[in-house]
Amino acid sequence: MLLTITTTAEPATDLGFLLHKHPDRVQRFPQSFGTAHVFYPEADQDRCTAALMLEIDPIALVRTRRRDTPDFSLGQYVNDRPYAASSLLASAMANVFRTALRGRCDARPELAASAIPLEVALPALPCRGGPGLAEELFAPLGWRVEATPVPLDPGFPEWGDSRYVSLTLRGTLRLAAALNQVYVLLPVLDQAKHYWMSPQEVDKLIRAGEGWLADHPARTTIVRRYLANRRGLVRSALGRLAEAEDAPEDALDRGPIDEEPPAAGAADETAGADVADGVVEADGELPAAPPVPLAERRIAAVLEVLRQEGATSVIDLGCGSGKLLKRMLADPFFTRVAGTDVSHRALTMARRALQAVRTNARWTVFPGALTYADDRFHGYDAAVLMEVIEHIDPPRLPAVERVVFGDARPRVVVVTTPNVEYNVRYAGLASDAMRHPDHRFEWTRAEFRAWTEKVARTHGYTVRHLPVGEDDPEVGPPTQMGVFTR
């Protein structure tokens, strides 16, 4: 809600010309979500400070949206927008300092074109990634960065720091460059869900990066974070259930499951990377010969087993976004393929992926849950549970066993799951952490073996075990696989 810009250039009051705002006036600029005020707390020859203060009307913020769908998350009613330096502040900057952002100043053209000593202060800047990220993003642009974390609640010191920092930037830059940088990086640091931003505003922000973003060492991160959190305006059914549970709105959403924690120093690869590459031309950033990703090796191992077992009709139980299904459709060996998942989002992705494949195989994907017996699971040579069981609460696992091995009873069942012993090889993974936040357990090789053997005995299958990925002599392979046959 507050941004102050201070200069010590002589005469400092020229800041008024650069910003096109007179130092002796208090000005109001109505915004769709409140009012922006510009005033000068100090305006001396040697030091002048302009303040942009945004007074947000939290009720108007929500009510300007479609009135007929009163379907907002609680987070849209109770949030930090009235206090934090968020994308709304960026938006107000664009509006109030439009000419200054373009670097135009007819009264002092030479001043607008030259670097001047500046101090920019943001007392409550949301910064997911901590003070270090603020340093990482602003320092390469020539700023000395002072970022102090804000404690979450002084009454509960054990809660630690909040995601906010008090940020002060000092440096000698053109004012227009400084404004543009702040304008773009505010939402990047915030990384909040941009309920309040229209696509046009996004375009504007990308344009504001001209001249400095392309050379920024963290440009991929900047653009990815910028775009990754654009969301639909209406909360999902899952969001509503999360709220009923007193949990954050996205607590029940499950990210992509093709997880492999980063090994030491590996670049983080997430969904936004493709978008980022489209916006900022990435050239030669990737290492020369990347190793085959584990997800790919897993798929290859599963396909190999299905082939060996002569299983031409296969159902993928927990198919996710359809990566395995897609490969089976492309392979004429498979004649009938089905996938099921309980996530609506995953199924939509799977359907889209499969429709693009030219195939002679018959295929279907449908919503289903492995804790409910389902006639649609019947009648396939093989069922695949690839990286699925570890997402099931252990007390519910016997139900899944009964559904798959007791009720559907295909001739072949292939199960893969992480080998927790291998986790020590992931430098990026904390020692007690699991590979994915939704994992309910991760098993050692012995635990997996004990489970598979119990299941096989109970349901009349025989089981064999295969490693997937590099079989480390000490800790075993990253993924373990059990092949059940009867």
Partner 1 sequence: MTEITIPELGLVVLVGVSGSGKSHFARKHFTPTQVVSSDRCRAVVSDDENDQSATGDAFELLHFIVATRLRRGLLTVVDATNLQPRNRQQLVRIAKDHDVPAVAIVLKVPLKVAQERNAARPDRCLPPHVLPRQHRELRHGLKSLSREFHRHYVLDGVEEIDAATVVYAKARHDRRELTGPFDIIGDVHGCRPELETLLTRLGYRIERDADGRARGARHPEGRTAVFVGDLVDRGPDTPGVLRLVMGMVETGDALCVSGNHEDKLVRALRGRKVKISHGLAASLTQLEAEPEEFRDRVRTFLGDLVSHYMLDGGRLVVAHAGLKEKYQGRSSGRVRAFALYGDTTGETDEYGLPVRYPWAEDYRGRAMVVYGHTPIPEPEWVNNTICLDTGCVFGGRLTALRYPERELVSVPAERVWYPPVRPLEAAAPDASAAGARRERDVLKISDVHDLNGVRTSLLGRVAVREENALAALEVMSRFAIDPRWLVYLPPTMAPAAASSLPGYLEHPAEAFEAYRGDGLERVVCEEKHMGSRAIAVVCRDAGTAADRFGVDDGTTGALYTRTGRAFFRDPARTEEVLDRLRDAIGAAGLWDELGTGWLVLDCELMPWSVKAMDLIRTQYAATAAAARAALPAATAALERAAARGLDVADLRARTARRAGNAAAFRDAYARYCWTVDGLEGVRLAPFQILAGEGTSYAAARDHLWHLRIADRLAAADPSGLLAPTASRVVELASEESEAAVTEWWLDLTENGGEGMVVKPLGSAPAGGKVQPGLKCRGREYLRIIYGPDYADPENLERLRDRGLGRKRALALREHALGMEALDRLTAGEPLWRVHQAVFAVLALECEPVDPRL
Q: Which of residues 155-194 bind partner 1 (CB under 8 A)?
A: 155-156, 158-159, 162-164, 166
Report how far residue 6's alpha carbon sits from residue 9's, in angstroms, rounded to the nearest whole number: 9
99 or 162: CB nearest partner 1: 162
What is the x/- site pattern for partner 1, positions 309-348, by CB under 8 A?
A: ---------------------------------xxx----
Which residues, 260 to 319, sit near partner 1 by CB under 8 A?
none
Closer Cβ to partner 1, 33 or 40, answer by number: 40
Q: Residues 272, 368, 410, 469: which binds partner 1 (CB under 8 A)?
A: 368
What minimum distance in Å lies between the beta carbon of 209 and partner 1?
26
| Structural tokens at position 159 | 């809660």
**Shortest Å distance, C-beta 247 to partner 1:** 6
Q: Return the number of the residue (174 or 439) whose C-beta is nearest partner 1.
A: 439
| Between 422 and 461, CB nearer to partner 1 | 461
- DSSP code of residue 371: T
Cβ-count burial 76-88 (b if 16+ within 10 Å, e if not)? beebbbbebbbbb
Q: In the set 34, 126, 410, 482, which binds partner 1 (CB under 8 A)?
A: 126
Among 20, 29, 80, 140, binds partner 1 (CB under 8 A): 80
* 4/312 with CB nearer partner 1: 4
Instruction: Pick the binder of partner 1 from 94, 218, 275, 399 (CB under 8 A).
Output: 399
- Closer to partner 1 by CB, 293 or 379: give it: 379
- How far is 176 from 169, CA to CA, in rounded Å? 15
Closest CA to 282 of 331, 325, 326, 220: 220
Could you count the other beta carbons within 10 Å of the beta carbon of residue 413?
25
Choose, by CB under 8 A, the member of 94, 152, 233, 266 that binds partner 1.
Answer: 152
d(CA 297, CA 294): 5
Which of 106/156 has CB closer to partner 1? 156
Rounded to 10 degrees, the C-alpha dihedral 66/67/70/72 comes to: 40
- Count of beta carbons in the 10 Å neighbourhood of residue 330: 12
Is 116 in contact with 212 (CB distance < 8 Å)? no
Specify the residue, 29 or 212, whose C-beta has the smaller distance to partner 1. Answer: 29
Which position among 352, 396, 454, 457 is part of the footprint of partner 1 (CB under 8 A)? 396
Q: How far is C-alpha 20 from the geometric centre of its chain's CA atoms? A: 38
The residue (of 333 and 372) whose beta carbon lies closer to partner 1 is 372
Site string for partner 1, 410-449 (x = CB under 8 A): ----------------------------x-----------
- From the list 425, 421, 414, the residue with the least C-alpha distance to 466 is 414
With CA atoms as reference, report the closest residue to 232 among 400, 356, 117, 65. Answer: 65
φ and ψ at residue 114, rounded to 5 degrees: -115, 155
Give the shortest CB-172-to-partner 1 separation in angstroms: 23
Concatenated DSSP letters for 68-113? Answer: T-----GGGTSSSTTTS--HHHHHHHHHHTHHHHTT--SSSHHHHT
Is residue 129 at the binding interface for partner 1, with CB under 8 A as the rule? no
Tokens read off for 323: 């990566």
Q: Which is nearer to partner 1, 67 or 358 (CB)?
A: 67
**Half-sphere exposure in the Cβ direction for 54 (13 Å, CA):** 31
Name the phi and psi angles at 396, rounded to 5: -95, -5
Residue 177: Cβ within 10 Å count: 18
Tell me which residues in 372-391 interact with partner 1 (CB under 8 A).
Answer: 372-376, 391
CB of 151 to partner 1, least distance (A): 7
Which of 367, 379, 428, 437 forms a contact with partner 1 (CB under 8 A)?
367
Nearer to partner 1, 340 or 419 (CB): 340
* Interacting residue with partner 1 among 203, 268, 296, 393 (CB under 8 A): 393
What is the x/- site pattern for partner 1, positions 28-67, by CB under 8 A?
A: ---------x-xxxxx-----x-x-x-x--xx---x----
Which of 133, 223, 370, 388 touches partner 1 by CB under 8 A? Answer: 370
Cβ proximity to partner 1, 151 vs 262, nearer residue = 151
Which are the contacts of 463, defined by CB distance < 8 A and separation ≥ 6?
A: 452, 453, 455, 456, 482, 483, 484, 485
Tokens of 107: 């009264």
Report which of 334, 336, 280 is spatially closest to residue 305, judged by C-alpha positions: 334
Q: Are 226 and 199 in contact (CB under 8 A)?
A: no
Tell me which residues in 214-253 interact with partner 1 (CB under 8 A).
234-238, 240-241, 243-248, 251-252
Least distance (Å) between residue 106 CB and partner 1: 26
